[in-house]
Amino acid sequence: QVQLVESGGGSVQTGGSLRLSCVASGSTYGRSCVGWFRQAPGKEREGVASIYIRTGSTVHADSVKGRFTISQDNPKLTVYLQMNSLKPEDTAMYLCAAGWYRGGGDCGLNPTEYTDWGQGTRVTVSS
């Protein structure tokens, strides 16, 4: 089982930046996909970005392209989400998750593809 711990959330104004971190521990063998997701109150969980650990290939949701960037630091077993030009609609609980690679060159943004989840870190963007 993989343990995931997120950090870096907080409150910022529109246009601000935050960097979220997701540190993995435990049995990470085989979990080659790490994704960032977010969930706002009353809304479904939404995939934000994913990274295929073995190649570094990334996918970003259209809603965050050009503003958010997912990256990894393999020796530290850490995946980051750099968030720039934040908007009020980015306000949510942000969670990272690990899952199995399913082929195709990239990792998906569907929450059902991920098996291990962190507790989340809250991001609030005020106008």
Cβ(64)–Cβ(125) under 8 Å?
no
CB burial of 55-70 (b: ≥16 within 10 Å; e: otherwise) equals: eeeebbbeebeeebbb
Q: How many CA atoms lie within 13 A of 42 on its CB side?
A: 0
Counting beta carbons within 10 angstroms of the beta carbon of residue 123, is it exposed (0 to 12), middle (13 to 18) or buried (19 or more)? buried
Give me the mean pLDDT over the 45-74 stretch. Answer: 97
- Dihedral (Cα; 119, 123, 124, 127), 10-degree rounding: -160
Instruction: Report the DSSP pairing between strands 18-26 and 46-52.
Output: unpaired
Q: Give me the chain's average pLDDT, please.
A: 95
Find the helix or strand (DSSP H, E) in which 61 lies.
Answer: none
Q: Mean pLDDT lowest for which of 23-27, 53-57, 83-87?
A: 23-27
Which pLDDT band holds residue 76 (cuts at 50, 70, 90)?
confident
User: What pLDDT was estimated at residue 30?
Assistant: 76
Give the pLDDT confidence of 2-45 residue by residue, as tens digits.
899 999 999 999 999 999 999 998 877 778 999 999 999 999 99
Give me the mean pLDDT over the 58-79 stretch. Answer: 95
Place of tokens 């750099």: 82
User: What pLDDT was estimated at residue 124?
Assistant: 98
